[in-house]
Structure 1
Amino acid sequence: MRMSIFGKIASAMVAALVLAALPASAAEIIDVTGRRVEIALPAKRVLLGEARQIHVAAALKGEHVFDTIVGWRDDLLKKDPDSYAAYVERFPEIEKLPRFGYIPSGDFSLEAAIALKPEVLTLNLEAQQAVEESGFIEKAASAGIAVVYLDFRVDPAANSEKSVEILGQLFGAEAKAREFIDYRNAQIALVTDRLKKAGEIARPKVFIERSPGITGDVVCCRTFGPANFGKMVEEAGGHNIGSDVVKGTFGDLNPEQLIVSDPDHVIITGSNWSAESDLNQFVSVGRGADAAAAEDRLRGLMQRPGFPGLKAVKEGNVHAVWHQFYGAPYEFIPIQQFAKWFHPELFADIDPDRTFREFHEKFLPVTYRAGYFASLPKSGE
C-alpha cells in the first residue's frame, strides 16, 4: 500500500512537470469588434498598445503584471504621469521598458515592435479605422504578431466587461478577471439599486466638460454624449445635458445652450497634463494631487464667459473629476462620487475614497493616494 501511494505521488509530480513544460495552448479570442484572433494562451510576450491598460492588467496580475509585458505606448508617461510614477516607484525597472507612439498619429514603429518579438498587440477601439486603412494588421500578422482590440472608452457599457475578460485570457488570469468584474458591478449596484428603490427622485441637470485648459484658448464646451462620463452621470442619478445634443461619445455644446440649460452641477475632467499642455490651465486631479492647487484652477475656469451666472456656480456645485476614469473600468468610483454630489442625503454613507482605497488593497500592486476629485466650497463654507 505504501509503495502504491508513493507511486501515485511520483506519477503526479511527473505529470505536473510535463504540464509545466508544455507551451501555451492555441486558442481563439473574439475581440470587441467581433474579430476572431488565434493566439497561444496565456501570451508570454504582450505589447500594450495603450499603456493606460495597465490599470486593468495590474488588477489582474498584481506583483507579476510586468512579467510578460515587453513594451507599451508612451501615453501613461505623457497623459497620466502620476500613475506612471506610482508604477515606477513599485517597479523601478519599467523605466527601461520600451515605449511606442500611437498608430493613428503615425509615430508607431512596427519595425521596433517586431524586434521585441511580441505575440500580441492590444489596441484601443478608436484606433481601428487608422489601423485597418494602413494595412497594419496584415503587416503585424506576417511578423507573427496578433492584434486584439479592447474598448474602455468609446462604448464602455457594452465593451468594458468583455475587454477585462480578454485581458484575463491574455494574461492567464481568468479567475481574477471575474473577481474584478464582480467587484466593479457590485460597487456600481450600491448606487443604481438604491436609486431604483428611491423611486421618482429629481435628477439634477449636469454639465460635464471634457478636459478644458490643456491647449489653445480656454473655450467651452467640449462634452460627453450618452456614453462614457455621460452615462456615469445618468447612473449616478443626474441628467447629462450633453446627451440632449451630442449623440456620439464626445461633442461640442454651444455656449448659449449651456446658459439656457443652466445646470445644477458643473463637473470638469482634469488630469496632470503638464507634459503636453501649452496653456497649463487644466485642473490637475489624480493620485496625490494638490487639493488647493486643483481648487484654484477650478475656480479660474469658472470665470470664463457665461459661467459666473450659472446656477451651479452661484450655488457652489462645481467639481472636478480625474479624466483618466474615462478610459479604465474604474467608473464605479466616479459613479459613487457623482451620486454623493447629486443626492448627498441618499448617499451619505457611501465613501468613494474608501472604496478606491479598498480596491487598491484588494487588486493593485501600487499604494493608494487620494486626490482624484475636487470641489469648490459652497457659499458660506
Structure 2
Amino acid sequence: MPMLTVKTLAKLAALLALLATPALAEQITDAAGRTVDIDMPAKRVLVGEARQVSVISALAGKHAFDTIVGWRDDLMTKDLDTYRNYLEVFPQIADLPRFGYVGNGTFSVEAAIALKPDVMTLNLESQKAAEESGLEEKLAAVGAKLVYIDFRVDPDANMENSISVLGKLFGNEKTADELIAYRRQQLARVADVLAAHPGMREPKVYIERAPGIVGDEVCCQTFGPVNFGKMIALGGGHNIGSDFFDKFSGELNAEQLIVSNPDIVVVTGANWSRQSDVNKFVSIGPGADLDAARAQLQALMERRPFNALPAVKAGKAHAIWHQFYGTPYDFVAVQQFAKWFHPDLFADLDPEDTFRELHDTFLPVPYKTGYFVSLTTESN
C-alpha cells in the first residue's frame, strides 16, 4: 500500500470536511408571505394538493415523484382523467400514500409525520385551517417545514412566485423560469391582439362553477373578478359575476341571471365520478369523450333558468376544464375564451396546439384532447 503524503492527507481532510458540512438553507417567501428556511432541493416532500403535480411534473419531468413521499387524495376525486393519465406514465403512484384535506379535518397529522417529510406544500386557502390545527408547529417539531403555494386564490400576486418556489423545492429553477416565460408569452398572444382593438365590444359572459356534481343544486355558483373571472376578462369578455361579487366566488340569483342576459354561457367540468352523487356534470379532461360531454352540456342547459336564456337558444354555450382554475396553465383557458368571444379576431389561434406544445415542451405525460366542448360543433 503506498504511503500517503502530507499533501495528500491535507487534501483528504479538506474533502471530508466539505462532505461533513451541512447544506446551507435557502430562504424563500411563500404565497402566505412567510419566509421559510429550507435545504434545497427538498428530499422528502408531502404534496398538500395532488393537483400541484401538474406543475411539479413540468419542473421535475420523469423525476417528478422521486422525492414525493405522500400526497392528498384530491387528484382521484377531483380530476380522475388526469390521475389516470399520470398513472400510465408513473404506475408507482397507485401505491403512493394518500391523505385527506386539511381544510375539512380529514387530514391526519400523525400519518403525515410518519412519512418523515422535510417539507409539506399546502394550498393557500388551507392556511386558516392549518393555523387553527397547529399544523406548522407539529411539523416543525419533527424538523419539517410548511410552504404555502397558490395558483387559485390570488394568481396575479402568487402564480409566478409559486412556480419559482416549486422549482427550488424540486431542484430545477431554470425550468421554472422557462415555464414562467412561456406563460407570459402565451398570454401576450391574446393581450396584444385585444390591445390593438381598444374599442371592441366585450360580450357579457356568465360562467357557472362546477354544476352537476351534487343533486338539487341551487343555481347559480359563479366567479368574481379573480381566477376564472379574470381569465374571462383577459380573453376579451365581461364577467357578469364581477358585477355582483368582489371575491373569489358567489351565488347569483337565477332571476338576476335572466336580467343580466349573458351573450355567452360557460360551465366548468371535469371527471368527478368519484365525488359526485348524481353525475350530471360535464366530464371533460384528457381523453374525454366529447360527444358524451356535449350531451351532458345540453342536459345542463335544459335546466331553469338556462333554457330561457337567448344565448343558450342560439347555441352559445360551452364547457371548459375546471382544473385550469388551479394551475399556471390558465393561459390555455384565456386563449380558448378569446376564440369563443372573438372568433374572427382569433381565427388563427389554436388553444389545442398551445396545450399540446406545453406538454411536449415541459410535461412527462402525453397530451390528450378533451378539455373544451361547445353546444354546437361549429363553435369548437
Band the TM-score falls in, shorter-chain normalisation:
over 0.9
Distance 1:279 1:16 in 2: 64
Alignment map for 1:185-204 (pairs within 5 Å): 185-204=184-203
Aligned length: 369
1:316–1:378 Cα contact (<8 Å) kept: no
- 2:117 is aligned to 118
Alignment map for 1:253-292 (pairs within 5 Å): 253-292=252-291
Superposed displacement of residue 271, structure 1: 0.4
Q: Is structure 2 residue 195 aligned with structure 1 residue 172?
A: no
Residue-by-residue CA offset, 1:265-311 (whole Å, 9 max, x unaligned): 00000000000100110000100000111011100111111212212
- 2:372 is aligned with what amino acid? F
- 1:7 is aligned to none
- 1:84 is aligned to 83
2:42–2:119 Cα contact (<8 Å) kept: yes
What is the TM-score when the length of structure 1 is the normalising length?
A: 0.93
- 2:42 is aligned to 43
- 1:307 is aligned to 306
Superposed displacement of residue 15, structure 1: 10
- 1:208 is aligned with what amino acid? I
* 209-218 vs 368-377, which moves further: 209-218
Distance 2:204 2:136 in 1: 44
Distance 1:62 1:19 in 2: 30
Distance 1:290 1:315 in 2: 24
* Unaligned stretches of 5+ residues in structure 2: 1-12
- 2:3 is aligned to none
Superposed displacement of residue 93, structure 1: 1.1
- 1:240 is aligned with what amino acid? N
- 2:74 is aligned to 75
SS at structure 1 position matched to 2:53: helix
1:268–1:319 Cα contact (<8 Å) kept: yes
2:121–2:148 Cα contact (<8 Å) kept: yes
- 1:222 is aligned with what amino acid? Q
Distance 2:257 2:50 in 1: 35
Distance 1:158 1:123 in 2: 17
Distance 1:80 1:237 in 2: 28
Alignment map for 1:105-184 (pairs within 5 Å): 105-184=104-183
1:315–1:379 Cα contact (<8 Å) kept: no
Residue-by-residue CA offset, 1:311-359 (whole Å, 9 max, x unaligned): 2112211000000110111001010000000000100000000010010
Residue-by-residue CA offset, 1:108-157 (whole Å, 9 max, x unaligned): 11111111111000000110111111211111111111000111111112
- 1:102 is aligned to 101
Distance 1:24 1:173 in 2: 17
* CA RMSD between the two structures: 2.0
- 1:243 is aligned with what amino acid? S
2:122–2:146 Cα contact (<8 Å) kept: yes
Identity of aligned residues (%): 60
SS at structure 2 position matched to 1:208: strand
- 1:236 is aligned with what amino acid? G
Distance 1:17 1:375 in 2: 64
Distance 1:380 1:70 in 2: 43
Superposed displacement of residue 187, structure 1: 0.3
Distance 1:380 1:36 in 2: 47
Distance 1:338 1:35 in 2: 35
1:59–1:364 Cα contact (<8 Å) kept: yes
Distance 2:19 2:186 in 1: 37
Distance 1:286 1:146 in 2: 33
- 2:248 is aligned to 249
- 1:356 is aligned with what amino acid? F
